[in-house]
Structure 1
Amino acid sequence: MRTDFKKEPKTVRCAIYTRKSTSEGLDQDFNTLDAQRMSGSNFIASQIGQGWLELEERYDDGGYTGGNMERPALKRLLADVNAGKIDCVVVYKVDRLSRSLLDFSRIMEQLDGAGCSFVSTTQHFNTTSSMGRLTLNILLSFAQFEREIISERTRDKMAAARRQGKYVGGRPLLGYDLDRDSKRLIVNESEAAIVRQIFDLYLEKRGLVTTVQEIRSRGWRTKRWTTKTGKTIGDAAFCKSRLHCVLTNRIYLGQVCYNDEIYDGEHDGIVSEAVFMEVQKMLKKNRIASGDINHERRKGTLAGLLRCAACDSAMSIATSGRGRGKPSYRYYVCGKAAKRGRKTCPRATLPADDIEKFVVQQLQLLRVDETLLNSICNQARAKMAKKQNDLENERRAIVAEVARLERTISVLSMPDDNGDSNGTRLDSLASCNEQLTRRQQRLMQIDTELLKAGRTLPSRVEILKSARDLETLWEKMTTGERSRFMQLLIERIDHDPQGGNVAITLTDTGREFLSNELSVTEDDQ
């Protein structure tokens, strides 16, 4: 006797994967991810007779591109596939899973290795057959082609907009506001005054770290703005990288850049080209100097100036240890001797301290130009007057900002008709109070600086005394200041080891400041 019975189909555990490239519209009650999931659910329901079962776990990537695999939900999906929790992956279209042919091949390799099938609800094919795989690869090739075309169009559009000087988006900059209607940058005068002072501060402090310290002491922070969704971004303390971005941004010149090309922008500049280029020159110089330190080269104050006349070679700084707890012995060595042996030079080395002290003593003997001294005094007074004017302008802007913040705080402190006393309202109130405190602290600092500004200007007699006493001034200088001082006054120093002569050639600035070139012998030391 034979009994016929129908075999129950094997359960196929199905996971639905959804994706959208942007986050726009995802806050709606029914968005595109929900529509993709509904399509997948309906397809699985139509296959219930084949044992298909929809898993409750959601794999949704909202706001992630299909051009790469850096997606959290996709990573969870593949991890569950490898763990044997999923038998079939269901998507609305192939390009929802990936728009890259290479990435898709890797995903399919993982699915095949785990014995997991793949289904697209709107593009019917079977991945277990060779024809299905061919169809799938053709569809994916078109998806990748479409993604590349969209990228090219976007780049071309941005390039065309840049060539016309248009602002194409990005984080708002300190010193500008964005007109949402015209999409143009409008100068914010109070912030623009701060930007100009930041550039002047860097030229005065001559370093990123010291400038950041001064900026923080004044309470200045980065641009603060509110997004369309009401989220507040920015308003952060300055650091070296943020300061460097400000100092190197050509938008402050009224220009825009694209692919290393510079175009005139639709917006107005707020920093003069002379100041901007001077800052770039100093940044480059400081970067080279810091590179020497990072590579453990202890730069001497005469590095780049001192040359060996016999070998026609530059002399570089070198050090040798003297034991634990003792300072290293510094000396200048002939470049030719360092490469080919010390016997190739009549005198391969010079004690660094001795030659540096000797050069300062020779400069000390020269007469300071009285006309240039008067010019220095006038420049110092003009610089102090500009500083006072900048402080007064900043004070007026802060007073207006304080009044605005106080009005805003007064409005936010009033009880709401709806009884809303927390959430966004409290966050805004706390933020305004914090800004008000910083502005009031900065006002106190400005008042103090204005009181001291007129007292700190040195008299002509004090400037003359300092200029004539270079040896005392030299002892008070840092290593970096000594190097800059020498670079300013001296063009080159030629040491003749055979005749024992040292010839000092002054720069144009040095000749203006001092009387004549020097040519002395080592016996005069």
Structure 2
Amino acid sequence: MTNRTRKTSPPTAALRCAIYTRKSTEEGLEQEFNSLDAQRESGENYIKSQASEGWECLPDQYDDGGFSGGNMERPALKRLLADIEAGKIDCVVVYKVDRLSRSLLDFAKMVETFDKHQVSFVSVTQLINTSTSMGRLMLNVLLSFAQFEREIISERTRDKIAAARRKGKWSGGMPLLGYDVDPRGSKLIVNEEEASRVRTIYELYLEHQSLIATVQELEKRGWVNKLWMTRKGHERGGKTFTKTSLHKLLTNITYTGKLKYKDEVHEGEHAAIVSGDLWQRVQLVLGRNGRSGGAAVRNKFGALLKGILRCVPCGCAMSPSHSTKNGTKRYRYYVCTSAQKRGWHSCPSKSIPAGEIERFVVEQIKCIGLDPALLHETVANARNQGQSQVAALEAERRGLERELSRWSDEIRKLLEQIVPGEGNTPATARLADLQERIRGAERRATEVREQVIALSRDIVDEREVAKAMAVFDPVWESLTPREQTRIVQLLVERVDYDGTTGKVTITFHPSGIKTLADELAGRDTEDAA
């Protein structure tokens, strides 16, 4: 009897399979059974169907919830690739190819990594296996279509945003200081309290003529950028101003009731909170301070109207310049900066002799004390401007009171949540933050009250100004060129020159007349003594 030995096939080597899942948004991930779970279950069932081939599902989960497939900046994907390089994985299983990547270039890099470490790739719903040449071909075709679809969606999104902006509709993004977004997210609604603050910031910049000085003033007042709550209840924004964020606020044309898309400007559906004139004046100062940032610039030839004279037709500054004849005689004049850049034909003002326009402005200042009607009109305008400043400060004070009341209520609720002996908790951290904010708001409220009192005291008196301006003429001639420049810059906010009609309009600083009256009256008293 012959003994026969049965040959048995060697056991199949285990194929370690990792399942990768991804979802572009976080919406729905909080559900008990979400999209990532469904993808993983499909992968697990497929692996079980290949159990006879030795396929085993690894227990590690590689889930990217809320990450785009357009790039490789995904934590679970990075962990998956690291484990592949460490030799822990033999096969990557996904529900669909675009779950791993929507970029053909990125996927090509991943395939190189897979090949280098002899790792295969399987798409459950598309029956793709990169271990075969046909599987590779199908994979590249599918990825090409996936990338094409992604680019089409991007183009449609850009076109939709452009169409919305051209119709004046708000197309999303971070809210702006001065506005709230309606519940539908398609329109900006004026927040009166913040809008008043925005206008004050514009005026503060015109007053200080410097980004740094304005930032310091805002920090002193405790003013911060837009603070808002996300739909999930998270607090965002509320950061202190920097040169960059202040410049962004001052150059945002949205505040004038318009919307910008690339280089196009369109009328918006929202209301303006900054007048076109105020916005334009700020842009002129920003343009003039482009290189210096608002630092003091030397005024070599004593140009009285440097920085305050502007061309009305072009809406831009007129800068001082000079030319010499025979190397000895110097001719000073102011020239439109737009005409310099775009050509003389573009501006009807072009240039004006410096001495001529400076003498006219000085004569107008002298006339204030000689013409009762002009004196009355000038003092009335100064009073109106001063009262506007008081009104703005009062609005700020009311806003501070509302903030203090809201923060105090929040502190009372937090105190009920804090348990003695628990140490540092989110509630104690928030409590410390609120207390710091309250100290800053109370400090600013005190400053506002003092400023209101000071402005009330500085309201110009017509008789006092008339008396002081009566001695302006003789005093003016005794001043040095530097003092004359300082006096004009103190007194005059801007001078508008229209070369088409030859008209010159002077706008005085609201507090400049009072300051000048006090200085001239004091000098007159010293001379009499």
1:156 and 2:159 aligned: yes
Q: Which residue of 1 aligns with 2:305?
A: none
Aligned residues: 439
Q: Please, which of 60, 64, 68 is the counterpart of residue 67 of structure 2?
A: 64
How far apart, in 1, do the equivalents of 2:495 and 2:276 lie?
23
Counterpart position of 1:140: 143
Alignment counterpart, residue 390 of structure 1, candidates 367, 392, 401: 392
Query: 1: CA distance between counterparts of 2:425 and 2:95?
Result: 38
User: What is the root-mean-square deviation in Å for CA atoms of aligned residues?
Assistant: 4.1
Task: Give the corresponding residue for 2:322.
Answer: 306
Between the aligned partners of 1:40 and 1:232, the Cα distance in structure 2 is: 39
- Report Cα offsets for 1:382-430 as digits up to 9, x if no partner: 43332222112222333344344444544555579xxxx9977667666
Distance in 2, matches of 1:489 and 1:229, equals 51
Contact persistence 1:368–1:467 (CA under 8 A) = no
- 1:353-394: per-residue Cα shift (whole Å, max 9, x none)? xxxxxx99xx89x96541267577665544333222211222
**TM-score, scaled to structure 1:** 0.72
Separation in 1, partners of 2:234, 2:86: 39
C-alpha distance in 2 between matches for 1:248 and 1:411? 40
Q: SS where residue 439 of structure 1 aligns?
A: helix
Conserved? CA contact 1:252–1:270, under 8 Å:
yes
Q: Is the 1:292–1:299 contact (alpha carbons within 8 Å) kept by the matching residues of 2?
A: no
Is residue 2:109 matched to residue 1:93?
Answer: no
Equivalent position of 1:371 in the other structure: 367
In structure 2, the gaps of 5 or more residues are 302-318, 332-353, 370-374, 498-502, 509-529
Q: SS of the counterpart of 2:31? A: coil
Q: For the structure 1 residues 435 and 55, does the alpha-carbon distance in structure 2 shift closer, same or farther, using more than 3 Å as the test?
A: same
Q: CA, structure 1 residues 58+309, in 2 after alignment: closer, same or farther (shift >3 Å)?
A: farther
**1:9 Cα offset (Å):** 1.7
Q: Which whole-Å deviations, capped at 9, do the CAs of 1:291-326 have from their partners, x for residues lacking one?
A: 999xxxx976459623344599x99xxxxxxxxxxx
Q: Structure 1: which amino acid aligns with 2:66?
A: G
Distance 1:291 1:78 in 2: 52
Which residue does 1:198 correspond to in 2? Answer: 201
Q: In percent, how many aligned pairs have the same letter?
A: 44
1:41 is matched with which residue: 25, 39, 44? 44
- Aligned pairs for 1:423-434 (under 5 A) are 432-434=434-436
Contact 1:489 1:509 in 2 (8 A): yes
After TM superposition, list the pairs within 5 Å mapping 1:204-353 onto structure 2.
204-290=207-293, 301=300, 305-310=321-326
Greater shift in the superposed pair: 220-229 or 382-391: 382-391
Aligned to 1:443: 445
Structure-2 residue corresponding to 1:121: 124
Give the letter aligned to residue 391 of structure 2. N
SS in 1 for 2:128: coil
Q: How does 1:74-89 map to 2 (within 5 A)?
A: 74-89=77-92
TM-score (norm 2): 0.72
Quote the offset at 1:18 in angstroms.
Answer: 1.4
Q: In the alignment, what sits opposite 2:8?
A: 5
State the match for 1:471 in structure 2: 480
| Counterpart Cα distance in 2 of 1:269 and 1:288 | 30
Whether 1:188 aligns to 2:184 is no
Counterpart residue identity of residue 321, structure 2: L
Judged with a 3 Å threshold, the aligned counterparts in structure 2 of structure 1 residues 488 and 275 are, in CA distance, closer, same or farther, namely closer
Shift of 1:118: 0.8
CA contact (8 A) 1:218 1:442 kept: yes
